[in-house]
């Protein structure tokens, strides 16, 4: 998403789609070509055609007068057109009038394209909102209705995989919810009825279980609606260099206007009086018309080159300011990291082989549809060569799906005539399961979970109960994976004299681990929006851009 900021002291740009799939790449409008570049760009013919009516509307003299050079061209266009109409046989007059109108329209079209970018992004958000279908409860039965028809007090049902259709509170059930589209945090959060963890936001995704949500916002006041208003309310700003150049061009226009006005008396005195069409054409040739017409196009060209490289510049000023940036503040999730915690390593306890742990981890994760669960299955396949199995292959197996209440997943099955149970999940849940089944947790398992936590990762225990009793087999190391090549990019920025700071809502241990792996110069952990703004102001107060 991109808009032009209204605050000139805060030029910004932000990363969009990358060759590695981002967590929200499936949203409407997030398309790239095969090489990871954004398709279309700002000079997309469809965008030009859509912006043409706006370019024509900008011919209003009250708008054109803001650019003295182009206002003079507009006046010349009108004068030559009137004279050409009076003398229809004068092909020279028609040619001059045509070229002047073409010049004026071209300048306005460049400006209209810049302003049309924000409108296009607002349309994308609006489409995402209108395409959401809600399962509304009506007298105990469910009915499918567009998300835009929901009203305050409506009850809607959301299950695993559903997008929450509107802002509200959970009144029944508990579920894990992916809020990365709103907060940018990689870890799913638990939302349950009652207490201070019941609020949900439209546009987020339910990852597990089933919840009933009571809508608490009016149509037009949801989070997505506020985003649409923010995008549509932004206006393209002229850069400082563009403003200074406009002043220079206005001065030159006045000089050449006076020069052309004084030519006619001399021409009359010499007996070679010139027509107004010739004088208008001469004036447009003398004044810096090309520069005036191309000012907006030049700014858009810079933004277009960035768009083709998956960066959205929020204003022409941001493009100019990028050359003077000395501090780069970066969000962690989806920018430095892939955006979802993924399984990075299987660490077995003493007496258990890595292959045995990988097999149990894969089995216990087949019923886990969360991104973390799927990554465990993939890691077992890619690193340990285990064929990816499916639930239907194991006859008689009883699958234990991951839920927000149990925080575990697993399977109960019979192998070689003996019963076997496998569980994987949060440390506390698995320890409780092992203890309830008469087993004990070894000290090295506790040491491994502590080491992973200290390193900023998330440990998941894998346990089994068979003829050897209930026991912990090992630990799965989950971590927010840093995108490939980030350290090299930060090294290059450092050589350019740019300091990099990572900002995240994660705890300090996790933030430090990611910062060390990525190679940033500094980081800010557990950051609230107020903390982020305070950091920006501190850097600016120190003379940094």
Active site residues: 331
| Cα 522 to Cα 445, 498, 515, distances in angstroms | 32, 12, 7
Would you say the C-alpha torsion 87, 90, 96, 100 has a positive or negative sign? positive
CA 44 – CA 28 distance, rounded (Å): 17
Side-chain half-sphere CA neighbours of 24 within 13 A: 25
Please choose, from the candidates 182, 181, 175, the residue with its C-alpha nearest in 3D space to the C-alpha of residue 161: 175
Q: Residues 357, 474: contact at Cβ < 8 Å?
A: yes
CA 440 – CA 344 distance, rounded (Å): 26
CA 524 – CA 515 distance, rounded (Å): 10
CA 15 – CA 30 distance, rounded (Å): 12
CA 17 – CA 28 distance, rounded (Å): 12
CA 228 – CA 236 distance, rounded (Å): 16
156 secondary structure, DSSP code: E
Please choose, from the candidates 411, 374, 375, the residue with its C-alpha nearest in 3D space to the C-alpha of residue 394: 411
CA 304 – CA 84 distance, rounded (Å): 39
Please choose, from the candidates 270, 135, 268, the residue with its C-alpha nearest in 3D space to the C-alpha of residue 210: 135
Q: Which helix (H) or strand (E) holds 157?
A: strand 155-159
Q: Determine how many CB atoms are found less than 10 A away from the CB of residue 356.
A: 16
């Amino acid at each position: 998403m991109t808009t032009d900021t209204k605050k000139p002291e805060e030029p910004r740009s932000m990363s969009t789609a990358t060759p590695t799939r981002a967590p929200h790449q499936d949203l409407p409008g997030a398309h790239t070509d095969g090489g990871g570049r954004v398709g279309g760009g700002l000079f997309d013919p469809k965008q030009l055609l859509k912006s043409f009516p706006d370019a024509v509307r900008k011919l209003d003299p009250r708008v054109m007068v803001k650019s003295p050079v182009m206002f003079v061209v507009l006046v010349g266009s009108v004068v030559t057109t009137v004279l050409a109409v009076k003398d229809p046989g004068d092909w020279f007059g028609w040619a001059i009038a045509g070229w002047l109108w073409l010049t004026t329209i071209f300048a306005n079209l460049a400006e209209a394209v810049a302003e049309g970018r924000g409108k296009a992004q607002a349309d994308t958000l609006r489409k995402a909102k209108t395409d959401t279908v809600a399962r509304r409860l009506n007298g105990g039965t469910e009915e499918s209705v567009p998300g835009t028809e929901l009203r305050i007090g409506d009850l809607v049902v959301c299950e695993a995989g559903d997008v929450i259709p509107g802002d509200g509170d959970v009144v029944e059930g508990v579920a894990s919810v992916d809020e990365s589209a709103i907060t940018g945090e990689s870890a799913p959060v638990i939302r349950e009825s009652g207490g201070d963890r019941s609020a949900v936001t439209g546009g987020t995704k339910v990852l597990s279980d089933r919840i009933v949500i009571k809508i608490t916002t009016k149509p037009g006041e949801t989070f997505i609606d506020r985003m649409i208003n923010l995008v549509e309310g932004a206006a393209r700003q002229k850069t400082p260099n563009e403003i200074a150049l406009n002043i220079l061009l206005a001065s030159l226009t006045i000089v050449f206007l006076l020069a052309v006005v004084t030519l006619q008396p001399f021409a009359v005195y010499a007996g070679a009086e010139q027509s107004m069409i010739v004088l208008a054409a001469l004036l447009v040739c003398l004044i810096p018309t090309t520069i005036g017409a191309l000012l907006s196009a030049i700014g858009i060209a810079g933004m277009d080159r960035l768009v083709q490289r998956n960066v959205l510049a929020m204003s022409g000023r941001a493009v100019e300011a990028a050359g003077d940036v000395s501090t780069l503040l970066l969000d962690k999730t989806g920018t430095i990291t892939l955006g979802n915690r993924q399984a990075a390593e299987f660490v077995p306890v003493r007496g258990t082989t890595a292959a045995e742990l990988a097999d149990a981890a894969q089995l216990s994760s087949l019923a886990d549809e969360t991104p973390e669960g799927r990554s465990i299955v993939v890691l077992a396949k890619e690193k340990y060569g285990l064929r990816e199995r499916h639930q239907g292959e194991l006859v008689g197996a009883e699958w234990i799906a991951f839920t927000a209440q149990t925080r575990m997943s697993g399977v109960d099955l019979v192998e070689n005539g003996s019963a076997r149970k496998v569980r994987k999940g949060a440390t506390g849940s698995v320890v409780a399961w092992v203890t309830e089944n008469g087993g004990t947790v070894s000290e090295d398992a506790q040491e491994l979970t502590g080491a992973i936590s200290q390193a900023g990762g998330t440990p998941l225990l894998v346990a089994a109960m068979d003829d050897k009793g209930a026991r912990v087999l090992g630990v799965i190391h989950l971590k927010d994976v840093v995108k490939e090549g980030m350290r090299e990019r930060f090294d290059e920025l450092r050589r350019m004299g740019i300091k990099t700071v990572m900002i995240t809502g994660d705890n300090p241990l996790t933030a430090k681990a990611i910062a060390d792996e990525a190679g940033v110069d500094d980081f800010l952990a557990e950051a609230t929006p107020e903390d982020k703004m305070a950091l920006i102001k501190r850097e600016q107060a120190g003379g940094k851009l």
